[in-house]
Chain A
Amino acid sequence: MLSGWFVVLLSVAYGGLLFAVARFGDARADAGRSIIGANVYALSLAVYCTSWTFFGSVGRATSGGLSFLTIYLGPTLMLLCVGVIVKMIRIAKAQRITSIADFIAARYGKSQLLAGLVTVIAVVGIVPYIALQLKAVAASLDVLFDRSGHAIQLWGVDSTLLVAAVLALFTILFGTRHLDATERHEGMVAAVAFESVVKLLAFVAVGVFVTWGIYDGFADLFRRAAAQPELLRLMQPDPSRAGAWAAMILLSALAIVFLPRQFQVMVVENVDESHLKRAVWLFPLYLLLINIFVLPVALGGLMHFAGQGANPDTFVLTLPLSQGAQALALLVFIGGLSAATGMVIVETIALSTMVCNDLAMPALLRSTWLQRQKRGDLSRLLIGIRRLAIVFILLLGYAYFKAAGEAYALVGIGLISFAAVAQFAPALFGGMYWKQGTRAGALAGLLAGFAVWLYTLLLPSFAKSGWIDSGFVEVGPFAIDWLRAQALFGLDGLDEISHCLWWSLLANLGAYLAVSLATVPDALEASQAERFVDVFRHAQRAPDVRLWRGNASLQELVELLERFLGPARTRQQLAAHARSRGRSDWRELAPDAEFVHFAEAELAAAIGSASARAMVSSVTREEDLGLEEVLDILDEASQVRAYSRELEAKQRALEAATGELRAANAQLRELDRMKDDFISTVTHELRTPLTSIRALSEMLHDDPRLELGERRRFLGIIVGEAERLTRLINQILDLARLESGRAEWTAVAVDVGAVVREAMAALEPLFREKGVRLSGEIAAGLPSVLADRDRLTQVVVNLLSNAVKFVPGGSGEVRVGVACSDGAVRVSVADNGPGLTADECVSVFEKFRQGGNTLTDKPQGTGLGLPISRQIVDYFGGKLWVESAPGAGATFIFTVPLREPDA
C-alpha cells in the first residue's frame, strides 16, 4: 500500500515539471528560438499513444493476441505516404487552417454548415475517448490504493473530477495563453513530447521488469506460455480474423490523420515541413518500441494471475505491485498519467478551437447582441469562449465516464472514436485530390456515414450500458431482422468495429461520390477546390487576385481585424503585410483584392475560414463572379493565355523602348557629327587670320629692307587680324556658354526703344564713315519686357553691324523700326543691300556661315553673330528671322514677348 499523500505529491510534482517544460517552450517561442525541432515534432505525434495504448494494449493482447499491433501498423503505413501529409500541411498553411473542421469546410466553399457538422461528429465521437482517459487514471489510482469502484476521494471530492479540473486548468493555461488565437502552442507541444518520453520509458521499464525480472527473458516467457493451449492461441496467427485485421489497419491509418489531436500536432502545429522526414521513421520506431513488451506483459500477467480474475487492463500496474516493486509501479502510474494527460490536453485544445470557431462563432455572428457590439474588441471574447469550451468538453468527458463507468473495456471506447473520425476520410481525401467533389456531396457523405456509425456502433454501446433498450441490436427495430444494428443486411460474423467501418464507409463514400457527381459547385467551391487540389502549383504564386472583385474600405477591414485579433496584433500583421508589398505604411495600401485576401486569411487564422468569409463579405460589397468565370480564370489554359498576354504586352513595351533608344542614338550620332563639323569649321576659321598674321610677320622678319610705309600697312593688317581672332574666340566661348546653358542672365524690365536708340547712337560713327544713312522709327510708350539688357543690346548691335557691312557705301540705307504687336515688342532692321535667296534666309543662322561670297571676298565677320543672337532671342521666348529676296534688301526681325500682366 502506498501513501495517498505521497502519490498526490508525486502527481503534483510531475504536473509542475510538465508546467515548467511548457513554460520553457513558450518562453523560447516568444524569444523567437523555437525548441520544436524534428525530434520534438516526431515525439509530439506520439500523443497518439494514450492511456488506451498504455493500459489497453495489454488488455487487448490477452484476448486477441498480436491483433493489437494493427492499431500501430496502420499509422506506420500512413506516415510513409508522406506526400499526402505534406500536401495537407501545405494546404493548411496556405489557407491558415486551424482545425480539421476548418480544413473540410474551407475546401467546400468555406461552409459554416459543414464546419459545424464536422465539429459535432468530432465532439460526439471523441468525448467517450476523453472519458476513457479519465477512467484510466481513476482505474490506476484504484490499483495503487487497492480499492475498487473509482471511489478515491481527496478533500471529499472525487479524485477523477479533480484530475479533470487540473487538466482543464493546464489546457487553459497552455492552450489559450495568447489573447490572439492564431499562435501555435509551442509550450503545449513541448510538454506533449516530454510526456511521450516519460510514457515510453515507463512502459519499457515495466516490460523489462516482467520479461527479465519475473521471467527469464523472452524465450523463457514464451516457452512457458506456449505450454498452455489458451495462451499458445495468442501466439499464433488467426486467419479467421483476416477481415478485422485489415479493417483495423485501415481504421488506424485514417485515425492517425483525422483524430482532431493528431491533425492538431501533425498539421496545425507543424513548424517546418522538413520535420516530417524525421517523423516518418522516428514516430513508427516509437510505436514499435512501446509495443515490443505488450505481448510479453500480457502473457506474463495471464500466467501470473491465472485464475484470480485480475483486470488485464491494469497488468502493467498489478504485476510490479505483486512483486513489491512500488517505485516501478509509481513510474508506471506516472507513465499512464502522461499518456492520459497528453491526449486530453491536445484533444481538448483541438476540439475547443472547433467548437469556438465552428459552433459558437456562427451563432454569435447571427445574434443581435453581437450586432450591437459593433466596435468592441472581440478577441477577449474569443479566448473566453475557447476556455469555456475546454471546461465544457472535459465536463462532458467526466459525465460520460461517470455514466458509462464500467460498461466497457478500455479498448472498445477507443475504437468507437476511431470509427467516428474515419468518416472524415472521403470528404477530406476527396477534397485534396478530386476537384469535382462538392459541398452537397461532402454533407451527404458525412451525414450518411455518421448516421450509420451512430446506429451500428454508438447506440449499441449505449444499449450495452443499459441506457436504452437493446432490442434493435438483438432482433432489429420492429423485429426487422435485416436491420439488426450490428448485422446490417445479415452481415454477421464480423466484429462490431469492422461491421461499422465497412457499412459506414460504403454509405459515406457512396453518398459523397453520387451527390458530388450530381451537383454543380458554386464559384467559391470551385476556386477552393482548385487551391486545394493544385496547392503545389498555386503555392509558387501569389493568390489569384482575379478571383475577387468588388468594393471594400480599408478602414472597415482594419476595424474588423481589430475586433477579432485585437489592436496590437492587427497593427503588427498590417505592418508585415505592407512591408511584403513594398510599402512603409499600411495606410497607403489600397483596399484591393490582395488586401481583402490578406484580411480574410488573418481572420481565418483566428475564427476559422467559414466565419472569416462571412465577416469579410459583411463589410465588403462583392461582385458575384459566377461559376463560369471562375472556372475560366482557374482553367490552366486560360492562365497560360493570361501569361502570354502579359508577355506580349511586355514585349510591345520593350519594342517601344528599343525604338526610343534607337532614335536617341541617331540623334546622338547627328550631334556628334555636328560637333565634329563645328570643330573643323572653328579650326578653319581660326587658321585664316592666323595664316595671314604669320605670313605678314614672316615678311617683316625676313625682309629688313621693307619700306616704312609698307611695314605700317602690314602691321595694321596684323593688328586687325589679331583683333578678329580675339573676337572670334570670344564669340565661340559665348556661344558655347549659351548652348550649354551656363551663360549668366539677369532678368529686369527693359525698355526696348531705349536699347535700340543707344545701339544706334553707338554705331552712328560706323555708318557715317561708310556713308550709310541710318534712320529709326521707334513707337512711343512701348511697354517694357523682361530681359537681360546687355544681351538685348548685343542682338541689336549685331543686326546693325551686319546691315552696315552688306549695304553699298554712299547709297546704303538702314531703317530700324520698333513697334508693339501680338503681345510682343517687334524690332526690325531693314537694309537695301543685295538681299538673300530663300536658302540663304535659313543658312545665315548657321554657325560660321558668312554672308556674301566667302571664296572671293575677304570675310568681314566671324559667322557667329547671328547664331548667338538667335540663341539670345530664343532664351527670351521670342523669335529671330529674316525676310528677304535677292536684289530687294533684307529685313531682320526679332520679337520679345511682353510680360504677362502681374505674372
Chain B
Amino acid sequence: MKRGSPTRQRLTALGLLGIPLLSYPLVGLPGGTLADLPAIFLYLFGVWGGLIALAALVAERRGK
C-alpha cells in the first residue's frame, strides 16, 4: 500500500490541530486585553497566522 505524500500528511495534521485551537472552548479562554489590544483578537490572529506560517514552511520546503 502506497503511503500518502508526507507534505499532505503534515498539512492535514496542521488542519486537524487548528480545529480545537480555533473553536470553543479554547477560543473562550483569552479574555481582557494585552497592551491595550483585545486578547481574543491577538489569540485568533496569532493562531491563524501561526498555522499559515507553518503551512508555508511545510508546503514550500524544497525537495518534497
| Interface residues, chain A, with chain B CB atoms under 8 Å away | 66, 69, 73, 76-83, 86, 218-220, 222-223, 226, 235-237, 239, 242, 245-246, 249, 277-278, 280-282, 284-285, 288, 292, 295, 536
Contacts and interface: CB of A to CB of B under 8 A. Distances in A.
Interface in B20-45: 22-25, 27-31, 33, 35-38, 40-41, 44-45
B28 A80 contact: no
Interface string B9-23: 101101100110011
A216 to B, nearest CB: 11
B25 A73 contact: no
B53 to A, nearest CB: 8
A219 B8 CA distance: 39
B11 A80 contact: yes
Contact of B40 (A82, A236, A282): A236
A859 B17 CA distance: 105
A239 B40 contact: no
Interface of B: 2, 4, 7-9, 11-12, 14-15, 18-19, 22-25, 27-31, 33, 35-38, 40-41, 44-45, 48-49, 51-53, 55-56, 59-60
A246 B41 contact: no
Contacts of A220: 36
21 contacts: A69-B44, A76-B52, A77-B18, A80-B18, A82-B11, A82-B12, A86-B8, A226-B38, A239-B25, A242-B24, A242-B25, A245-B27, A246-B24, A249-B23, A277-B7, A280-B55, A281-B56, A281-B59, A285-B52, A285-B56, A288-B52
Identify the interface centre among B7, B25, B27: most chain A CB within 10 Å of its CB: B27
A863 B52 CA distance: 97
A277 B25 contact: no
A281 B55 contact: yes
Contacts of A239: 24-25, 28
Contacts of B51: 76, 80, 284
A672 B53 CA distance: 77
Given A219-B35, A284-B48, A284-B55, A73 B22 contact: yes
B36 A82 contact: no
Contacts of B60: 277-278, 281
B44 to A, nearest CB: 6
In the A-B complex, the 9 residue pairs with the smallest Cβ-Cβ separation, listed nearest first, are A80-B15, A242-B24, A235-B38, A281-B56, A219-B36, A281-B55, A239-B28, A277-B59, A83-B8
A80 B14 contact: yes
Contacts of A82: 7-8, 11-12
Nearest to A234: B38
Given A80-B15, A280-B11, A236 B31 contact: yes
A428 to B, nearest CB: 18
Contacts, number: 110
Nearest to A80: B15
A848 to B, nearest CB: 70
A815 B31 CA distance: 134
A237 B23 contact: no
A115 B51 CA distance: 37
A86 B59 CA distance: 14
Nearest to B13: A80
Nearest to B24: A242
A222 B37 contact: yes
Contacts of A245: 23-24, 27
A171 B36 CA distance: 47
B23 A246 contact: yes
B51 to A, nearest CB: 7
A235 B40 CA distance: 7
Identify the interface centre among B25, B31, B45: most chain A CB within 10 Å of its CB: B45
Contacts of B27: 237, 245
Contacts of B28: 237, 239, 242
A220 B14 CA distance: 34
Given A226-B33, A236-B38, A288 B48 contact: yes
Given A219-B35, A222-B41, A281-B60, 17 more contacts: A73-B44, A73-B48, A77-B19, A78-B15, A81-B12, A81-B15, A82-B7, A82-B11, A218-B37, A226-B33, A226-B36, A235-B41, A236-B40, A237-B30, A280-B59, A282-B56, A288-B48
A80 B12 contact: yes
B27 to A, nearest CB: 6
A278 B59 contact: yes
B62 to A, nearest CB: 11
